[in-house]
Amino acid sequence: MKIPCELVCNFILPNVRALIAKEAIRKGMKQKDIAKKLGLTEAAVSQYLKGKRATKLKKLKFKKVERKIEKLTNKMVNENISDAEITKSMCEICSLLKSSLLLCKLHKKIEPKLKS
């Protein structure tokens, strides 16, 4: 059985990173700068952009999270945001997802034997 934190690591965080990378590219940020800011390799960012990673979830469909992702991306593109600020924002996104039903729905989908 997978515990919720494994789902966050295996599905949610890669999807959040992919959404950030795609939005940052759209706003003119370079792939190498995205990789540096997110603590990833350029190859990982490239795979996110090409849809070769983080393919289980297409969109989070959670407005609060989408706004947090957009705010973080804007800061990455337009400001000199620190690693600590990026970490804090990613943790806030993760916390929002943990407190939402989205993570529960994903958990039930992956572990259909779970009871409510």
pLDDT at residue 15, rounded to an integer:
86
Which residue, 87, 83, 92, 98, is CA-closest to 8?
98
Regions of the chain with pLDDT less than 50: none
Q: At what angle do helices 13-26 and 63-78 cross, to 10 degrees?
A: 50
- Residue at 93 is within a domain: yes
Which pLDDT tens digit goes with each residue over 53-67?
Answer: 776 655 556 788 889
Report the predicted TM-score, pTM, of the whole model to 2 decimal places. 0.84
- Residue at 16 is within a domain: yes
Which residue segment(s) compose the domain that 86 sits in?
Answer: 4-109
- Residue at 114 is within a domain: no
What's the domain count of the chain? 1
pLDDT at residue 102, rounded to an integer:
74
d(CA 94, CA 90): 6
